[in-house]
A = this chain, B = another copy of it.
Amino acid sequence: MGITIRDVAQAAGVSTATVSRALRGLANVDEQTRTRVERAAAELDYVISPSASRLASGRTGSVAVITPYIARWFFSTVLSGVESTLQGAGMDLLLMTVSNPDAQHRLPPAPRLRRRVDGVLVIAIPPDDPQLSDVLKLDIPTSLIGVTVGDVPSVTIDDVHAARMATQHLINLGHQRIGLISGSIAGRSHYTAEYDRHRGYVEAMNEAKLPIHSDFEAHGYFTSPGGEQAMTELLAQRERPTAVFCMSDEMAFGAMRALRSHGLQPGRDVSLIGVDGHDMSELLELTTVEQPVHDMGRIAAEALLVQLNSEVQARAHSIVLPTRLVVRSSTAPVGGGE
């Protein structure tokens, strides 16, 4: 069992070389011959052997996607954008997570990549993660999504700007005591986005000459339970913030819950704004700075494909996509509830 190129060649009355050329759509094949070959191949239900083709050509026809999480909104949404592009280009998509500390026995991504993919797409791994540097050292064409490292091609948003926009929105509403729910604690791995969003918040506050209490920052770990916890801490302050900028929508969801537990209403009592444009944000009436997450995946994949198909080592550049403020009822003028 297993029709080979030889069978097709025989059936079409040509050499295997011609079959190979014809089926791959190369030029320099007589159209009649091509038709004959294609017919024969179809007749025999021939499928090329990827392993043989890869071995002979040196190209693998696959792209690896490396991500820290699969079942989180941002990551799965990026992934879906990547997938549709790759699939459309006939590329195989190899999915792989960075081995988190608890899964000790797993090989880290870098060794699993060598000799088996033409390109790599990395989704939002903290730039100082050694697993990321190992991957970059492989010197396989790579695009980053939601991170930047040196001059490696990447697709991101302007996180500083996004955070400024969010903070400024709160300022425009008259808020002065503006809290911040950020990611993980200092000393651990940080996302690029985290630094930048922090900076955007600080810049906007400074420009408006508003004070930044250290009491007004809490860590939500980019999860919704984390956000709930963080908001709870903020509410315990003597002087509560009247508005809070959350670095992600999921943390804002948690914050909303914390408000409710305290009998407070988002928007009326405390304004809440996030970043993401999460699926659930509309449902929960969360004001947010939307980023085009699906497109980020799509565009990064497209850029990678271009890089793979270009003869020259055309250094792909970094792409920054626009964000958009979407105002909903979780933000309102200060004192609106009094």
Contacts and interface: CB of A to CB of B under 8 A. Distances in A.
B51 A224 contact: no
B92 A106 contact: no
A105 interface: yes
Contact of A103 (B49, B84, B93): B84
Contact of A84 (B54, B79, B97, B114): B97
Given A51-B55, A95-B93, A283-B253, A87 B71 contact: no
A254 interface: yes
A47 interface: yes
A47 B112 CA distance: 9
A224 B279 contact: yes
A111 interface: yes
A266 to B, nearest CB: 13
B97 A83 contact: yes
In the complex this chain forms, how many copies of it are found? 2
Contacts of A88: 103, 105-106
Nearest to A280: B280
A320 interface: no
A96 interface: yes
B77 A106 contact: no
B92 A116 contact: yes
A330 to B, nearest CB: 14
A169 interface: no
Interface string A78-95: 011001100110101111
B93 A94 contact: yes
A52 B105 CA distance: 26
Interface in A87-136: 87-88, 90, 92-97, 99, 103, 105-107, 111, 114-116
